[in-house]
Structure 1
């Protein structure tokens, strides 16, 4: 049996306005908002082969990538492939998706199992990011590329405008420092994983030959690696200034 809350009609209207699209096939949006935990075993059997949460997420990820690549290509006409790739990675990462999900208040519309709700699923950045991709997939199937692209442009263009310089992530900066010093590339390893399965906390250690290691923690291994790299870069700057 499924244990999830229904979405009030006024909330549905608010979401329609936030998405900028009225669904001709409302079931597509419902599936995009339904976490796997809210689907019982019998329903899973019935819906096998249909476009559920994970399949819509898969599609939405590709649609988002295409639209973002097109926006970057047209906006930053003087940048090379490397600079565009850095911008792209920043815009399609989980943190950016979660920010957009929060901007449209997606969490309140999610259909979750009782256990997932009690575990704080509506605030989970991982779950919000996944649902945001699923919604983009649903927009594409219901209204075509233009409906999905309108949504992406509306919420991602402000993210693009936040910093007009090509972003330099800490991992890249640390790698370039090591190469400049004639050292092997940094080595990352996960030292522990904590927290509930739906939102784990990773601790990652980074080591550069001849330097004391640094550790970072984050909700994804990628985030933890970035924080570890930032910490080690800070240590290197401090040591240079001593």
Structure 2
């Protein structure tokens, strides 16, 4: 029988690192994907020291079109199949869309949308064969329009919609599909995006460790969506109470004042 692994993208920092720790602590062999080989190696050494099968390290930049091919080849070379796929990698850029670098914004789409979709479709047969699951990292941003981070918010709306549709399609094959939609999380995300945490982060944030724990439990319980934290759970409900134009104006006013 072919050995099965949990493939985790964006595993070198933040929520991705904590997800790797949670899956490994629950007996999963993990395959770790991220750009920074040194961090992946350090994480693999940490997890390996705790016993269990050695993690597979796959240094790879998901911005590149051949990333899926490279990941698939590495797994084939290791003689493993994907049982659980965790599409965690993603980033955003703060600022007005027309003022930010166009190539950088297209790379948000490459990582947050194209790579996530590629890996999901590429390994679907293995996920079905192994009756595994997909955990996609969305964001509370996926429920909102996002002036000030327009491409990022739109990418997370795609993740939410795509995940929910796949959940319906794959349910008859016994594949669990869950989207985790955290609010602000203290991590390197803010530094890369180019903004400092503000009032929203203070009242909505949940630690990466807690996000990972709740996301794992949600996937194993086959929940449709996981919204970590008390206040975050209220956001989708509250959005139904206000007209879309009001929400757009409010988010735009708040986000653009951060500049």
Which structure dedicates a bigger proportion of its chain to strand? Answer: 2
> What TM-score comes out, normalization by structure 2 length?
0.28
**Greater helix share, 1 or 2?**
1
Bigger Rg, which one: 1
TM-score by length of 1: 0.30
